[in-house]
Chains A and B, each alone.
Chain A
Amino acid sequence: MERYTEIRWHGRAQQGVVTAAKLLGEAALREGKYVQAFPDFGPERMGAPVRAFNRLSTEPIRLHCGVKNPDVVIIVDPTLIAGGGVSQSPLLDGMKEDTVFIVNTPKGAAGMRGALGLKNGEGKVYTVDASRISLEKIGRHLPNTAMLGALAKVTNVVEMSALIENFKENYSKKFSPKVVEGNIGAMEKGSQDVKGE
């Protein structure tokens, strides 16, 4: 039976959530994995809550349905957690006992557990201030690459080196050297700063 790592990204349109899933897919493919990266399209408006998904495996992936029981949930926009237009349930939807939550927030992981509505022993919570990192490193609010760095640190789904090399190799044409460096810096800083409970 094939085994997958399934990841669900939560953010808002224009925050690079779909791009993050794409970058992760490309980097994992670079490591020789089989990948899927796909968005969950709703109304395409700036600021609308969006989701994106990854499925990563060492075997060819034949599933073509949405991710129902994510191994990792990445919350790129903390305003989605409470009062941000989305009730809490979509974030915890289909979670397993050991689902890993990585949240973009300056707050600590223990506090986030309560905010997410997770009981003790349910899931594992990590936090990283990806918004601040992106402002420092890239000069714009694009928290996705810092979140990727955090993901590489707290899980073994992808190596930092694959994320960085993929970005260098494939986005140097599209972006200026400064932007490429900034994003790589954000990945590294995200990896260093992420903290669990």
Chain B
Amino acid sequence: MEPATKTKKQVGLTGNSAVAYAMKQIDPDVCAAYPITPSTQIVEDFSSYYADGKVGTELITVESEHSAMSACIGAAAAGARVMTTTSSQGLALMWEMLYVASGLRLPVVMTVVNRALSAPISIQCDHSDSMGARDSGWIQIYSETVQEAYDNLFQALRVAEDARVLTPAMVCMDGFITSHAIENIALLDDSEVKDFIGEYRPKRSLLDVDNPITLGAMTLQDSYMDFKHEQSKAIAGAKAVVAEVGKEFGERFGRSYGLMECYRLEDAEAVVIVLNSAAGTTKVAIDRLRDKGTKVGLLKPRLFRPFPHEEIASALAGTKAVCVLDRADSMSGFGGPLFSEVRSALYGRKGCPPVIGRIFGLGGRDYTVEHAFGVFGELYDILEKGKVEKPFGYLKP
């Protein structure tokens, strides 16, 4: 579908349509995908572009997500620029292949439209899927809005393919809330996209018969750990590249991106940390509380893998109480994944504020301005009483 409406260079697109349009503009060599709610429309739209001859992509329709990721790995090993998309159980089925893609250092780029994991079955949004894959060696970038999901895809591609990184990347957005909502979005011109992403020139290709290589060889006790160490250093190094690419994106197109977004954080006492679309709702709550003279703020991590621990800890210096909202429970009995990361990043720092974790929005449960008020209320309670009574818990409906 071509963007329908044009006003002030803006169009109205759903998150899914915007991502499919970005994929059309990127025109990857190969896309292997198996549609699943709520990311189905990305594959549908992209299939239309393919059928209409608007992309030169080899579209591989596979029989499962495991096969989709396997085909992506094969194509990437052959030196192709490869993209795919999935959600929830689909990502879960890709699991073992995610590690193969990252271990082989193949820069596959995947949109993950966040959806809850079964059981019980739910098609609605939460972050259990991508959070479960947080240790798979993929870069993870989160998106608050349709615009961000669109912009992040180009940047993820640049970062993944960067010779200093060569690591697969996922761009996450909230299922239904972002994927199915029409919002204003400014699109880039095709030529702008082409200039920004450049041509992908892989160092090696399995199909290069003049320079034959072996991929996926066995390693023993003497070397496996060294490969993992190198991989770990590479993904840690991706942080600087994400910042660099986000800055360049801003210089070119006027929308700058950092490792995180700080909203009214400078003088904030009470801070909420949250990913994706809930950050927008939290900003509205913050504005209303600020109007009443309360010093509240937001930190929205954009990059979750690699985790910008130093930057987040520095940004929180001077704050007095922090609540990390997780849209996934790690079932550890002590907070969600984002909570653990943030708290760990702050540990041992001078003047470390109390940090509490709250699970919210599982299976698409709505997160409203009132919920944000409640969270800030809890933080001010801690400040008044001078102690944390419940470090971790579920947000009340």
- A interface, CB within 8 angstroms of B: 1-2, 21-22, 25-27, 29-32, 34-39, 41, 60-66, 68, 166, 169-170
B7 touches A32 (CB 8 A): yes
Asked if B12 and A26 sit within 8 Å, CB to CB, the answer is: yes
Interface string of B144-184 (1 = CB under 8 A from A): 11000000000000000000000000000010111011111
Task: Say whether B123 faces chain A, with CB atoms less than 8 Å apart.
Answer: yes
Q: A32: which of B8, B123, B284 is its contact (CB, 8 Å)?
A: B8
A35 and B182 contact, CB distance less than 8 A: yes
Q: Is A65's CB under 8 angstroms from B5's CB?
A: no
Residues in B neighbouring A41, C-beta threshold 8 A: 123-124, 176, 180
Task: Looking at the assembled complex, report how far the CB atom of A6 sits from the nearest CB atom of chain B, in whole angstroms.
Answer: 12
The interface bits of chain B over 6-20 (1 if a CB of A lies within 8 angstroms of the residue's CB, else 0) are 111011100000000
Partner of B284, one of A63, A68, A170: A63
User: Which one, A30, A38, A64, contacts B278 given CB within 8 A?
Assistant: A64
Known A31-B7, A36-B183, A38-B177: A25·B12 in contact at CB below 8 Å: yes
Which residues of chain B from 225 to 280 have a CB within 8 Å of any chain A CB?
277-278, 280
Q: Verify A37–B181 contact, CB threshold 8 A.
A: yes
Q: CB within 8 Å of A: which of B294-328?
A: none
Which B residues touch A68, using CB under 8 A? 368
Q: How large is the interface on B (under 10, 10 to 19, 20 to 34, 35 or more residues)?
A: 20 to 34
Write out the residue numbers on chain A whose beta carbons fall within 8 Å of the beta carbon of B288: 1
The 8 Å CB contact of A2, one of B12, B123, B284, B367, is B284
Q: Name the A residues within 8 Å of B182 (CB-CB).
A: 21-22, 25-26, 35-38
Task: List CB contacts (< 8 Å) of B128-149 with chain A.
Answer: 144-145
Q: Which residues of A contact B369 (CB under 8 A)?
A: 63, 65
Q: Quick check: A64 and B281 within 8 Å, CB to CB?
A: yes
Chain A residues contacting B215 (CB-CB under 8 Å) are none
5 contacts between A and B (CB under 8 A): A36-B181, A41-B176, A64-B278, A64-B280, A166-B5
The answer to whether A66 touches B287 (Cβ under 8 A) is no
Q: Are B180 and A26 in contact (CB under 8 A)?
A: no
